[in-house]
Amino acid sequence: DIQMTQSPSSLSASVGDRVAITCRASQSIITYLSWYQQKPGKAPNLLIYAASTLQSGVPSRFSGSGSGTDFTLIISSLQPEDFATYYCQQSYSTPWTFGPGTKVEVK
């Protein structure tokens, strides 16, 4: 199985801050990487797929980059509705696996 790790596991930030979350795969997954946002009691919401493609309807303050084993999700200017948990997910090979999540909290 491909193991996914994320860092940090949590972070505190303020509205307007630039936030970066990293995701690392245990082997190369090329660009078969997606990012999701999850709020309490809700299903995850797709933000980015294929490492850097913004899902339709997702604000442009979200961006993704990376290839191979190292990936980054950037929120350019944190908004109140962005406080949530973020997960990465690989689909290079089955079993598809998720990272453990990064919780973005209010500073």
Catalog residues that contact other proteins under the rule CB under 8 A.
Answer: 1, 31-34, 36, 42-46, 49-51, 55, 87, 89, 91, 94-101
How far is the CA of 73 from the CAs of 88, 94, 100, in angstroms?
9, 23, 15
Minimum CB–partner distance for residue 78 and other proteins (Å): 22
Minimum CB–partner distance for residue 75 and other proteins (Å): 19
Our CB check for other proteins shows the closer of 17 and 68 to be: 68
Our CB check for other proteins shows the closer of 43 and 80 to be: 43
Minimum CB–partner distance for residue 93 and other proteins (Å): 10
First to last CA, the chain: 36
